[in-house]
Structure 1
């Protein structure tokens, strides 16, 4: 039965009318496996795509405008923010990052399901924006949010230290941030504990299929 669901999503001709484009927000503390889970979802289902955000930081080597990010000047970013064009935005290390409503809406109108990897503050902004949208708006109709948690703070610390890439003070800061982020978990419609990657992915996929009307 699972294979037939997979086929329904993968082929346009087979996709049922009950499946509507989704905006899926996924948040998690650093070290919870969010990127691994989301990348796997995008790899398995061609109709699920990452949202391309805007940033005011300069492009890095190999980055292309409209692929990794839309690169904007600070002046243009602020003008667009003032005009209410962003679903959510934040200032990080002196640069601005944000998600344009038109970018998400265009992808959904093309029949894609948009995956948005943002933190708890960005998700909160987005929910506040949705609250002022018409209930029939595609973004509001297709919205669902998922929070991914570690099985425990002790396990999260073990994973972070196991990477072998960060100094102790960086790990301590990540753990402090994680504790703060997890306080927002109850605001999400779905919560997944990543104590086993295969199990967590199955739960994530089940949530997505259900939101599509396919489970």
Structure 2
């Protein structure tokens, strides 16, 4: 089997690889990342044996998952596609990493994929406000969401919402229409944010789009 560490000698690439193999918010991997780091976590997966602080059955599942992923034979190409510069992978320790997500502990994202001005992510929570709601919103709901988001942006608050249709889209449109700052947060990861049409709008029109893994 090709060694995972042959593709990743740095923490950023190693975290990207883990996000390709392991489901988000996996507590076992989260603990390993916090204790050992990403490169060492890959080395442990390569070794195929015991992992510090991990039960044998959990380690076996992780080894099996990694082996299945490598057996597909597309690791190099898939990794190159993710790191082609279309999106910026942010990891803990980066200047613009939003430290508030660290409160998730072992369930914190392995990496965040960002498009746009990532400096907005480093602002304090007191500088941000969230406006979000139903995808199947009414015209009145869209109007109210736009007013709330517009008022917040005029008060120098960075509006944060999802990348979905409905209320989320109305909030982003109102802020962008006034030339202010907005952050769109999408589910999934690079190239797989959902819903497709709404996320494409947010990623191309917004000041910053963020997809977590």
Higher strand share: 1
Whether the TM-score (by the shorter chain) exceeds 0.5 is no
Task: Work out which structure has the larger RCO, using CA pairs closer than 8 Å and 6 or more positions apart in sequence.
Answer: 1
TM-score, structure 2 normalization: 0.28
User: Which structure has the larger Rg over C-alpha atoms?
Assistant: 2
Higher helix share: 2
